[in-house]
Structure 1
Amino acid sequence: MSVRQDVPPVAISGAGPVGMALAIDLALRGIPSVLFEKRSEEERIVARANMTNVRSMEHFRRWGIADALRDNDPVSTEVQRDVAFVTRLSGHEILRFPRAYEWSERLPIASEVAEWAPNEAIEKTLRDRVRSLPIIDLRFDSEVLSFEQDDQGVTVTVDGPNGEESHTAQYLVVAEGSRSKLRREGLNVRMEGHPNLARSFLWHIYAPGLAELWKATEMSSMLLFYNEDRAGDSLVPQSGTDHWAYFASPVPDGVDGDDWEACRAMLFRAIGEEFEVEPLAGGTFITHSIQAPRYDFGRVLLIGDSAHMVSPMGGFGMNIGIGDAADLGWKLAAVLDGWGGPALIPSYSIERGEAARFILKGCESNQAVGPRELVRDGIEEDGPIGDAVRAQVAEDIKIQKARQFKRMGGQLGYRYSSSPVIFRDGTDQPAPSFEDYVPSSAPGNRAPHHWLKDGSSLYDHLGNGFTLLVLGDLDAGELVRLAESRGVPLQVLTVEEPDLAELTMLYETGAALIRSDHHVAWRGDALPDDLDRLLDVITGSVSWA
């Protein structure tokens, strides 16, 4: 086994969307990385990811790929970006949430809108960006088998095209997905929370004639079947109008999700007639709501599904991982560049663990309410009686499922209230809501967004380090000089009218220090007297006491 010393400072095991997102974030900060991916370049996986939500698209915008994802979306324009509830495809429409996954117009509260595009488009978009950044080394057919770490770095054993090789890096990030061998065997980490929420299945199918069978409603990004079978099944277009994903959670009693014939029979009942269909890949998986007790283990870090597993009811699986990459990227870069302190990497576990707990709890609530709970007898009847039942179920859906498909609290409302690298101001805030998003500039929150009068987003003007947003009469000169002497990247953004009044109302103070991942690190009307302590806290040199 040969030993190579030319591996970049960060090795990433797994080149799925989250691993690639981290590599991109690092590269844009000048930090090289190597991605080891055990799949071949041509191999595709059966993935549940379809929605890149608003928060993730804000990071995609920062990484220069938000519009590229829209361009790569293979789903036909005939498919409305709606969520539709029907009894059966040959039956009755119950309710639609129009444009639930893609807004036609920009949102005032965010720099981006969500994009509903299947995993194929997400991976292509990220791979293209990875290949555009020469300091990322992407290696397929390469599996990290094991690792050893010490105070100086991590040695990884990789089974690649040339056999087993040993590589050294300063950090190893495990982005292998929910079945991570390195998490289980290398770190011996056990997930905690609520396992075995549901037995589910997902099948990718080829059915070119299915598009002609949409009778109850227009073709939609997500079609959910609410009928007297109460099977918890749904249909999602994947490309053109011929490839589809058929999903069920929980799988009805007596149905084997690995048995295609049984699942096809369910699909035929949901559609209301038989048609030509070919299974491409699929089977059973177990829905969990669990996470690792921490994500940092010395120089080895967990990210994405290797760190947490969430119910798919809400579309947060990949999106939590994108948030992980945005948080970990700047912290790894800070430590490697020499200005990040010893509390910075551990703060990744604390911040993202808090965000994951918030999201996992919300998705558990979504999982608990479906057709088994909401369908009423008579929902499939024709005539006035059936119409009345469907109208009542539609009202129930609006109340019980809007947070899953329409509300923004889960995407934008989490905050880092327990982080040791946030300089707090004593603000007493209500608990964040998974349903309603209320912008707040209190330290730890996502910085309130604003579209400037020149058409740009406030976030477009934030740097790769810290940005001091100045809204009042504040002299930032001493802070800038001190940050420069310590090698801390800091820029000043001074706002003038016509944007000043609106931003002052949003931020409620004369200044705010915003991190590159858009979270507020400090705010106030005047800078603290002890500027060294401010920089110590936000760079992880000391912990907030």
Structure 2
Amino acid sequence: MASRSNEVPVAISGAGPVGMALAIDLALRGIPSVLFEKRSEEERIVARANMTNVRSMEHFRRWGIADALRDNDPVSPMVYRDVAFVTRLTGHEVLRFPRAYEWSERLPIASEVAEWAPNEAIEKTLRDRVKSLPLIDLRFENEVKRFEQNDHGVTVTVTTPDGEQTLLAQYMVVSEGSRSRLRRDGLNVRMEGHPNLARSFLWHIKAPALAELWKATPMASMLLFYNEDRAGDSLVPQSGTDHWAYFCSPVPEDVDGDDWEACRSMLFRAIGEEFEVEPLAGGTFITHSIQAPRFDFGRVLLAGDSAHMVSPMGGFGMNIGIGDAADLGWKLAALLDGWGGPLMLPSYSIERGEAARFILAGCESNQAVGSRELVRDGIEDDGPVGEAIRAQVAEDIAIQKARQFKRMGGQLGYRYSSSPIIYRDGTDQPATSFEDYVPSSYPGNRAPHHWLADGSSLYDHLGNGFTLLVLGDVDHDALTDAAAERNVPLQILTVEDPDLTDLGELYSANATLIRSDHHVAWRGDALPDDLDHLLDVVTGSVSFA
């Protein structure tokens, strides 16, 4: 734990997954931070996060916690990491996506696989890592009440168990969640997009006997009820075989999501019989698809749900925020270390705003198609007629819902095509797709992944600054010298066959400049004549025209 100080490079309001991820990223770059969390250390929140997707797990790997998250998963090994569609739990299986959330073998296109583990495990994993890093000062029962900023820093006023205190930070990041008071009152930000997509509810329940009622299908990480109630409900194991999350979106018009008795009646109908169940916490929330018009406001920045809110249909809520932390961490470090230019923070808004719009649109499409749209009358019937109807619905689900549960485009395919700190080469690239991921080394894209012959990931060899991947005859000494003169961290990465041939096919350029967040900053067969201009662009010192 860092010593308590009244001055700090970065103050972070909110120590949920996104705030902790940012603090970890900064600490691994040598940047101290203070994390303010209004909860006590023992208090837990009712969170919807369950999946740390492939892209987030790549960042977790970089932060040294990917394996720790897998170890902390509290869900029983009896639960298959599948998505299952059933009429009722005591009824019929309609369709199953096997291992939709985890893979038994590594993926060629990524350095990690997804991990299906509830928020309890995610927070524990991040919190343990935070406590292991002395540059992070995590303060529970501390709430940021207000702030004032000028050209030199941000004065942060915090309510603590010992009264009100002030702290001076060079930058402050607001990662307080979707109901952020600092975003609303401190920055006066109006969110844009599509609010009020659906009225939803989430209840965490304790029901030890529920595991014994799984008759239609083996226990799965996510169970969706597709019956003639068309209620839009689902069931998700949380820990062991006795803690569950019961979710519904959109909630039927005649149901009050804050009324546990009404929600329990829905649950009993979905299961097919009554059983002992205890509500732990829950209620109604509104599903939005909105984001702030920008994420940078002088020295104060928004991240996570404070910056954007997404439909849960796709499991991207926390994962977009993890991407925010990965993008913002290196940029704040660049500014604090003196080599980042004035476009660093605007580029955070532009890059992450573009990624958020892409993901929000995909999740809106997922939200628009569910049991109300896909269930057919007779789906619960026994005999050949019912079997035929279920087969038709299964075919529709496979077509309409695969993008939500099986496709990688939304996880790996976003890119920073509008960024002012990307040195574009003028070539065309294919349109982005939320469904299918096509690796591309075009500047702004996530660098194509490759497993090297020694079993390591290409990403394992990228540095904390820039890495020049050299695959052809390129004299890089001048760039190395120019970067050193400006204190820009740069390392050179060369490989030998068979990796040289394989990477040459993926990258189609003799040299590629890759950022520490895995995105391509520049590529070419020869370095530009004006190396200062290249460095000006990628460090945010001047925009590329």
* Equivalent-residue separation in structure 2 for 1:169 and 1:443 (angstroms): 33
Helix, strand or coil at the partner of 1:57: helix
Find the aligned partners of 1:105 and 1:429 in 2 and give their Cα distance: 30
Q: Deviations over 1:503-543 (max 9, x none)?
A: 00000111100000000000000000000000000000001
User: Hey, what does 1:433 align to over in structure 2?
Assistant: 433
TM-score (norm 2): 0.99
Shift of 1:246: 0.1
Q: Which amino acid aligns with 1:489?
A: P
How far is the alpha carbon of 1:427 from its aligned partner?
A: 1.6
Q: Is the partner of 2:60 in helix, strand or coil?
A: helix
Match of 1:219 in 2: 219
Contact 1:7 1:34 in 2 (8 A): no
Asked if 1:241 corresponds to 2:241, the answer is yes
Q: What's the counterpart of residue 250 of structure 1?
A: 250
For 1:20 and 1:448, the matched residues in 2 are separated by: 27
Please give the residue correspondences for 1:66-77 in structure 2 after superposition, counting only pairs within 5 Å.
66-77=66-77
| Residue number in structure 2 paired with 1:512 | 512
Contact 1:9 1:169 (C-alpha < 8 Å) held by counterparts: yes
1:80 CA drift (Å): 0.2
- The equivalent residue for 2:325 is 325
One-letter amino acid matched to 1:434: F
Tell me what 1:183 maps to.
Answer: 183
Deviation at 1:5, TM superposition (A): 5.9
**Matches of 1:263 and 1:5, distance apart in 2:** 48
Equivalent residue, structure 2, for 1:459: 459
User: C-alpha separation between the residues in 2 aligned to 1:460 and 1:141?
Assistant: 37
Superposed CA offset, 1:252-300 (max 9, x none): 1110000000000000000000000000000000000000000000000
Asked if 2 retains the 8 angstrom alpha-carbon contact of 1:238 and 1:244, the reply is yes
Residue in 1 that maps onto 2:204:
204
SS in 1 for 2:359: helix
Deviation at 1:6, TM superposition (A): 3.0
Residue in 1 that maps onto 2:195: 195
Whether the 8 Å CA contact 1:37–1:140 is kept in 2: the answer is yes
Match of 1:229 in 2: 229
Task: Indicate the residue corresponding to 1:280 in structure 2.
Answer: 280
Deviations 1:175-229 (A, max 9, x none): 0000000000000001000000000000000000100000000000000000000
Alignment partners' CA distance in 1, 2:268 and 2:319: 32
Q: CA deviation at 1:397?
A: 0.3
Q: Is this contact kept in 2: 1:38–1:141, CA < 8 A?
A: yes
Deviation string, structure 1 residues 425-447 (Cα, Å, up to 9, x no partner): 00212220000000000000000
Query: Does structure 1 residue 63 correspond to structure 2 residue 78?
Result: no
Question: Whole-Å Cα distance in 1 between the matches of residues 434 and 26 of structure 2?
Answer: 30
Whole-angstrom distance in 1 between the partners of 2:544 and 2:303: 24
User: In the aligned structure 2, how far is the partner of 1:446 from the partner of 1:109?
Assistant: 11
* Whole-angstrom distance in 2 between the partners of 1:430 and 1:440: 9
Q: Give the structure 1 partner of residue 45 of structure 2.
A: 45
Whole-Å Cα distance in 2 between the matches of residues 106 and 500 of structure 1? 21
Q: Are the aligned partners of 2:175 and 2:305 in contact in 1 as well (CA < 8 Å)?
A: yes
Q: Cα RMSD between the aligned structures?
A: 0.6
Partner secondary structure for residue 216 of structure 1: coil
Contact 1:347–1:419, Cα closer than 8 Å, also in 2: yes
Aligned partner of 1:252: which letter?
P
Amino acid at match of 1:290: I
Q: How does 1:255-334 map to 2 (within 5 A)?
A: 255-334=255-334
Counterparts of 1:72-471 in structure 2, within 5 Å, are: 72-471=72-471
Unaligned ranges ≥5, structure 2? none
Conserved? CA contact 2:6–2:166, under 8 Å? no
1-side partners of 2:370 and 2:104: how far apart?
Answer: 28
What is the aligned length? 542
Match of 2:216, SS state, is: coil
TM-score normalised by the chain length of structure 1: 0.99
Q: Supply the distance in 2 between the matched residues of 1:429 and 1:262 (Cα, whole angstroms).
A: 51
Q: Which amino acid aligns with 2:470?
A: V
User: What does residue range 528-539 of structure 1 map to in structure 2 within 5 Å?
Assistant: 528-539=528-539
Q: Which amino acid aligns with 1:374?
A: L
Residues 5 and 168 in structure 1, CA contact (< 8 A), matched pair in contact too: no
Distance, in Å, in 2 between the alignment partners of 1:44 and 1:528 is: 52
